[in-house]
Structure 1
Amino acid sequence: METWEFEAELWPWKDATDAWIFVTAPPEVTEEIREASIATGPPRGFGSVRVEARIGTTTWRTSVFPGQEGYALPIKKDVRRREDLQVGDRALVSITLV
Structure 2
Amino acid sequence: MSEFQFDAPLFQVPNGSWVFAEVPFAVADQVDELTSGRQGGFGSVRVEVTLGPTTWRTSLFPDKGRRTFVLPVKRAVRTAAGVDAGDTVRVALRLVDV
- TM-score normalised to structure 2 length: 0.88
**Alpha-carbon distance in 2 for matches of 1:45, 1:13:** 21
Identity %: 39
Which digits, 9 at most, give the CA deviation of each residue in 1:21-69, with x for residues without a partner?
A: 001111110010011112xx53211100000011122101000001133
Aligned residue for 1:63, secondary structure, equals strand
1:46 to 39, 42, 46: 42
1:62 to 55, 58, 63: 58
1:90 aligns to 2:88 (yes or no): yes
1:36 to 34, 37, 51: 34
Aligned to 2:79: 81
1:4 aligns to 2:11 (yes or no): no
Q: Is the 8 A contact 2:61 2:71 kept in 1?
A: yes
Moved over 3 A (4+): none
**Alpha-carbon distance in 2 for matches of 1:51, 1:82:** 20
Aligned residue for 1:10, secondary structure, equals strand
Task: Could you tell me which runs of 5 or more consecutive residues in structure 1 were left unpaired when the two chains were aligned.
Answer: none
Shift of 1:2: 1.7
The two structures, once aligned, show a CA RMSD in angstroms of 1.3
More strand by share: 2
**Alpha-carbon distance in 2 for matches of 1:87, 1:42:** 30
Task: Could you tell me which runs of 5 or more consecutive residues in structure 2 were left unpaired when the two chains were aligned.
Answer: none
| Amino acid in the other structure paired with 2:63 | G
